[in-house]
Amino acid sequence: MPANKSFTSRRYVINTIFVVIALVFIIRIFFLQIIEVSNKSSADNNVFRYITEFPARGLVYDRNGKPLLFNEVTYDLMVIPHQMGKNFDTLGFCKLIDTDIVTFRKKIKTATTYSNFLPTIYDEKIPKEQYGMLQERLSEYPGFYIQARTIRNYPQPYCAQILGYIGEITPDMLEDDEYYKPGDYIGISGLEKSYEKELRGKKGARIIMVDVHNRDMGSYMKGKFDVEAKAGQDLYTYLDIELQEYAEKLLANKRGSVVAIDPNTGGILAIASSPAYDPNLLVGRDRTKNYFELLSDKNLPLFNRALSGRYPPGSTFKPIVGLIGLQEGVLNTTITYPCYGGFPLGNGKMIKCHSHPSPLALLGAIQTSCNAYFCKVLKTTIENNHYPNTEAGFDAWRDYVLSFGLGNPLGVDLPSESGGNIPTSNYYNKSFGKGHWRALSVISIAIGQGEIQLTPLQLANVAAIIANRGYFFTPHIVKAIGSLDNLNKKYLIKKYTKVNPEFFNYIIQGMYGVVEGGTAHNIKMNNIQVCGKTGTVQNAGKNHSVFIAFAPKDNPQIAIAAVVENSGFGATWAAPIASLMIEKYLTHKVERLDMEKDIMDSKLINNY
């Protein structure tokens, strides 16, 4: 290449480099003097405000599509302490929101402890009349703004213990889920807690610009970075709100509970605990005050007796004792046992029984609820020669009982379920000494007393098992989530007992006799064949009244359990309540108005 041509090429490259460098400097100077000055001016006069968009919680519907609750908009007063500035008019603000300076400073300190730069709730659930006034004046007080959210509203004063309530999240809860921030609301009890993740939806966010006068200057970048909130999923339940309302009215002024289940699905039709409370009490600005009043109430309205109450089942346990005896081959429908006023324990002691014909076979023993008969059945079952000793026989018997879903929580989709208690052989070994106890040592469990404890939910499930001839679906409230097509699949599995289906027919016939001419003949209906079993449960005070049933006999649509505390015989209170609910559910009306009035007008507890 000629020397002059090479020199020209190098000069061209060098000149180009100088031009590029010059352009870079020019652009940088323009950016520093024009753009950044402009941005700084904007930053000096505007701040970002990050607004959380809270989603509407999912709704809850009964089996007929009736909403059990609604959402309504409420407003929270939010504060970002850093934005308040040194010249904040504290006195004026306190006068505006009708508070004192000590309270104001305490709340600001709490907010600052959380974060000086992030929003915190200063005051929640502002009344609508105050909201309008604040909207007009709040621009005078930097750092404060109003944020909308939804709260629950209940169209009827029922289902409180089923639906549950929502409340402000606690610090302990914050550690378990990054979704939540201080001041957020979360399901505390009932379905609100069990299905929190489905009901809560997904938060959204908006970024707005606010000038030095605390005025909203609109969305940043026209909402380019905003995220839309997504509403929570709706829940579709098996609950029948009319049956639920009826149950709560029947239980009014009584301590007790009722659980009704569709044995074909395990769906809970009604689950009432009394005393109850209006769910609207735990919504709004008076929620905390009302909560502590309910908490201190001696009748325990916040306690869900249907799920957490543990009771000896009394004679309602006898069908299980009979079924196990049939399965073990120590019993059949023709074997009879005499009853001489009870079952002798020796040394002049006896488990007493009421007057009835004697001797009796299985069906008659169920119909008349003979204590002596079922004590004899238990004794022959656990002292069966098939087992090397009483302990082994008892363990085998207990395994049968556990297969009925007893002794452990059933797994209902509500929190705070108790598992009741089915004693172990180890328990008796500790009580009496290993090898030093026999059937007579534990004979009271034959009639559902002693250490046996069940919940009303478990009792209703026992009725469902008998109605199904030996199997059940885990009882549950929610049928589908999001849409009726999206079934709650984990509750679709059949669970079988260890007793052959054929033996249930004998027990069903006996339970039919209970209502037709036995201990619960007072609830007999001409148009509905009911199978039931009464229970009068011994207690430190007055006996508990207990009843389990299902109907119709040959095509069961409802299984039910009722417990009325400290009220007397099973046929006096629990049986009428259960039968009225069966009538209401199957015929959609009640013809036995005198019985209904007697139950509803009865007051078994005072001051409520």
pLDDT per residue over 370-405, tens digit each? 999 999 999 999 999 999 999 999 999 999 999 999
Calculate what percentage of the chain has a pLDDT beyond 70.
90
Please check whether the two domains, 50-83+106-237 and 241-277+306-601, share a CATH topology. no
**pLDDT band at 12, cuts 50/70/90?**
low
Tell me, which fold does domain 241-277+306-601 have in CATH?
Answer: Beta-lactamase (3.40.710)
The CATH architecture annotation of domain 50-83+106-237 reads Alpha-Beta Complex (3.90)
Q: Which of 362, 351, 356 is nearest to 321 (CA)?
A: 362
CB 202 within 8 A of CB 56: no
pLDDT greater than 70 at residue 95: yes
pLDDT recorded at residue 24: 64
Between 9-23, 302-316, 486-500, 515-529, the lowest mean confidence (pLDDT) is in 9-23
* Residue 14 confidence (pLDDT): 65
For the chain, give every domain's residue range: 50-83+106-237, 241-277+306-601
Output 14 or 59, whichever has higher pLDDT: 59
pLDDT-based confidence at 39, cuts 50/70/90?
very low
Query: Can you give the pLDDT at residue 233?
Result: 97
Confidence check: pLDDT of 42 > 60? no
> Dihedral (C-alpha) 221, 227, 228, 229: value to the nearest 10 degrees?
-140
- Answer positive or negative: Cα dihedral of 253, 257, 262, 266: positive
Mean pLDDT (whole number) for 96-115: 91
- Joined tokens for residue 456: 């009303």
Report the C-alpha gap between 389 and 385 in whole angstroms.
8
| Residue 269 vs residues 242, 244, 273, 457: alpha-carbon distances, Å | 10, 7, 14, 12
Tell me: pLDDT of 45 over 50: no
- pLDDT confidence tier of residue 430, bands split at 50, 70 and 90: very high
pLDDT, mean of residues 245-268: 97
Q: What is the pLDDT of residue 40?
A: 43
- E-only strand ranges, 91-230: 120-123, 144-153, 166-168, 185-187, 204-211, 216-219
Residue 104 has pLDDT above 90, yes or no: yes
Q: What average pLDDT is seen over the chain?
A: 90
Mean pLDDT of 211-234: 77
Q: What is the pLDDT of residue 9?
A: 61
Residue 26 scores a pLDDT above 80? no
pLDDT for 431 equals 95
pLDDT at 172: 82
The CA distance from 342 to 355, in Å, is 9
For 377, the token pair is 């059945």
Say whether pLDDT at 499 is over 50: yes
- Rounded (10°) CA dihedral 376, 377, 382, 383: 50
- For residue 150, pLDDT over 90 is answered with no
pLDDT higher at 284 or 279: 279
Higher pLDDT, 168 or 423: 423
Distance between first and last Cα of the chain: 112
Please report the pLDDT score of residue 606 as a whole number.
67
Q: What are 205's two structure tokens?
A: 């966010």
Look at residue 41 and tell me whether its pLDDT is greater than 50. no
pLDDT digits (tens, 9 = 90+) for 525-577: 999 999 999 999 988 778 999 999 999 999 999 999 999 999 989 999 999 99
Is pLDDT larger for residue 173 or for residue 438?
A: 438
Q: What angle do CA 291, 294, 300 make, to 5 degrees?
A: 140
pLDDT on residue 28: 60
The predicted pLDDT at position 422 comes to 98
Res. 184 pLDDT band, cuts 50 70 90: confident
Query: Residue 266 — very low, low, confident or very high, per pLDDT cuts 50/70/90?
Result: very high
Task: Give me 182's structure tokens.
Answer: 């201080």
Structure tokens at 284: 């709004």
For residues 175-189, give the mean pLDDT: 86
